[in-house]
A and B are shown apart, each in its own frame.
Chain A
Amino acid sequence: MTTPIPRPSAMLAELTHRCPLSCPYCSNPLELTKREEELTTEQWADVFQQAAALGVLHVHLSGGEPAARRDLDELTSHAVKAELYTNLITSGVGLTKAKLEDLAARGLDHVQLSIQGPNAEIADKVGGYKGGYNKKMQVAEWIAEEGLPLTVNAVMHRGNLDRLEEAIELAMRLGARRLEVATVQFHGWAVKNRGALMPTREQVERATATVASARERLKGELVIDYVPADYYARFPKPCMGGWGRIGLAITPSGKVMPCHAADSIPHLKFDNVKDRTLADIWAFGDAFTAYRGTEWMAEPCRSCDRREVDFGGCRCQAMAIIGDASATDPACEKSPHHGEMLKLAEDFVAQDDDFTYRPNA
């Protein structure tokens, strides 16, 4: 192996798959982990220590809804004790003012709040949870009162992309420092909902322009991170900044994955923190070495001068569209399957499906 082993800097800790919401674009797998199979408080505490020793800087406490874990307070303390920058990724549902104050006092660094739409009607329909929107507005107020920095996360799709301006205004109104505009990615439950979620090319182009002008206008007030749709792009998105290069994800039961969607690649074998140390898994685990670096690449990536820029794109997307996880991401115009992917996008745009909601686990 000539690829040197890098140090990871970010870890997604999926504490649980349980969630009161049932967003149709949820990236959780179709097979949700049950509560009995979740790692214990002590196991997570150990994982945080191991992660910090390995070089991880940011931990994202996520799910599902992390507040569904009754030990979220202790888990937060353990992450803080490991000196990790601790970010809570939440829908807000399940948080109370007292809980939030407690988490802040324990040293939580940052909160990322998901908003399913710019008003109650849309947001509650998408989240499949009545009253969710108002609850979020309340939570955002508590976050501001606590003085915790806030990121608003807005997942955009065909049903709400035209209301991106409203999402930006909402983030400003809530006092967010940062807004994450993430165009829906088709992993997990989202795959089932492509017919309802796939944005049109025109929507995507408008959204890109809207983000560019808002960034300029709001410089110094609101940072906007944007995950554009890649179905209509010329080049793919860089996969996680490179497979097994900067990030890793841990599932509720302790499986360690190079990305949160990696279990859509059926032949990959994932190790579990219950059986092996994190450092060992990161460096030598099959799933991590499979696509680390550039040696696994075939043409056209192998000789492409962008191979260290986008790393051949998304392995999960290559798997989903072409059935071969080591192929060039079909979002790339150099892929022989690029046309198929475009056609697929257009077909999904033409469908007018209703949402298939994920269950609450």
Chain B
Amino acid sequence: MSADLADEAVPFLPRGVRLKEDPARGWLLLGPERALTLDGVAAAVLQEVDGARSFTEITEILAEKYAAPRDQIAKDARGFLVGLMERRLLETKP
């Protein structure tokens, strides 16, 4: 089974997965036995994930913030978030 992320789906970090800002390592995503170091883009995407905004809304916010084309942002963000879903570090509400 392969994960998918629809435009209107609302992504959220499930219990046991959280963001942490570490003084020496920058932004991290912590989960069971996992500590992913996030680059700037990944951290920016996850900071907009609040369990209320849809994927589309998240990409619109990011497009405005970074003055970048929404399509490009959506493509990158989707790839990253689906990767997290496959590792059970992210879930979605329809």
Q: Would you call A219 and B33 a contact (CB within 8 A)?
A: no
B47-74 with Cβ < 8 A to chain A: none
B1-57 with Cβ < 8 A to chain A: 1-3, 14-18, 20, 22, 24-25, 28, 30-33, 35
Which A residues are CB-close (under 8 A) to B20?
57, 83, 85
Q: Would you call A151 and B2 a contact (CB within 8 A)?
A: no
Which B-chain residue is minimally distant from A217 (CB atoms)? B1
Q: Would you call A220 and B30 a contact (CB within 8 A)?
A: no
Q: Given that A55-B22, A219-B1, A223-B87 are contacting pairs, would A149 and B15 also be in contact in the complex, using a CB cutoff of 8 Å? A: yes
Q: Would you call A178 and B15 a contact (CB within 8 A)?
A: no
Q: Would you call A57 and B32 a contact (CB within 8 A)?
A: no
Q: Would you call A220 and B28 a contact (CB within 8 A)?
A: no
Which B residues are CB-close (under 8 A) to A149?
14-17, 31-32
CB distance from A243 to the nearest CB of B (A): 19
Please measure, in the bound complex, the distance between the C-alpha atom of A221 and the C-alpha atom of B85, giving whole angstroms.
9
Which A residues are CB-close (under 8 A) to B14?
149, 177
Quick one: which of A55, A112, A177 contacts B24, CB cutoff 8 A?
A55
Q: Would you call B35 and A219 a contact (CB within 8 A)?
A: no
* Contact size range, B: 20 to 34
Q: Would you call A147 and B35 a contact (CB within 8 A)?
A: no
* Contact size range, A: 20 to 34
Q: Does B86 contact A (CB under 8 A)?
A: yes
Please measure, in the bound complex, the distance between the C-alpha atom of A220 and the C-alpha atom of B82, giving whole angstroms.
9
Please measure, in the bound complex, the distance between the C-alpha atom of A83 and the C-alpha atom of B19, giving whole angstroms.
12
Prevailing SS type, chain B contact patch: loop
Q: Mark A223-234, 1 if CB is under 8 A from B, else 0.
A: 101000000000
Please measure, in the bound complex, the distance between the C-alpha atom of A177 and the C-alpha atom of B89, giving whole angstroms.
9
Q: Would you call A219 and B15 a contact (CB within 8 A)?
A: no
Q: Would you call B16 and A220 a contact (CB within 8 A)?
A: no
Q: Does A7 contact B (CB under 8 A)?
A: yes
Q: Would you call B15 and A148 a contact (CB within 8 A)?
A: yes
Q: Mark A44-69, 1 if CB is under 8 A from B, else 0.
A: 00000000000101100000000000
Please measure, in the bound complex, the distance between the C-alpha atom of A223 and the C-alpha atom of B85, giving whole angstroms.
10
CB distance from B86 to the nearest CB of A (A): 5
Please measure, in the bound complex, the distance between the C-alpha atom of A19 and the C-alpha atom of B24, giving whole angstroms.
38
Q: Would you call A58 and B30 a contact (CB within 8 A)?
A: yes
Q: Would you call B35 and A58 a contact (CB within 8 A)?
A: yes
Q: Does A77 contact B (CB under 8 A)?
A: no
Please measure, in the bound complex, the distance between the C-alpha atom of A225 and the C-alpha atom of B20, giving whole angstroms.
23
Q: Would you call A177 and B22 a contact (CB within 8 A)?
A: no
Which B residues are CB-close (under 8 A) to A180?
33
Which B residues are CB-close (under 8 A) to A221?
1, 88
Q: Does A110 contact B (CB under 8 A)?
A: yes
Q: Does A74 contact B (CB under 8 A)?
A: no
Q: Would you call A220 and B32 a contact (CB within 8 A)?
A: no
Q: Would you call B3 and A178 a contact (CB within 8 A)?
A: no
Please measure, in the bound complex, the distance between the C-alpha atom of A177 and the C-alpha atom of B86, giving whole angstroms.
11
Q: Would you call B88 and A223 a contact (CB within 8 A)?
A: yes
Q: Would you call B15 and A147 a contact (CB within 8 A)?
A: yes
Quick one: which of B1, B2, B16, B22 contacts A57, CB cutoff 8 A?
B22
Q: Would you call A85 and B30 a contact (CB within 8 A)?
A: yes
Q: Given that A57-B22, A109-B16 are contacting pairs, would A220 and B1 also be in contact in the complex, using a CB cutoff of 8 Å? A: yes
CB distance from B7 to the nearest CB of A (A): 19
Which A residues are CB-close (under 8 A) to B85?
220
The 3 nearest A-B residue pairs measured at CB: A149-B16, A220-B3, A177-B88
Q: Could you jot down 10 A-B contacts, CB within 8 Å?
A: A7-B25, A55-B24, A149-B15, A177-B32, A178-B33, A178-B88, A219-B3, A219-B86, A221-B88, A223-B88
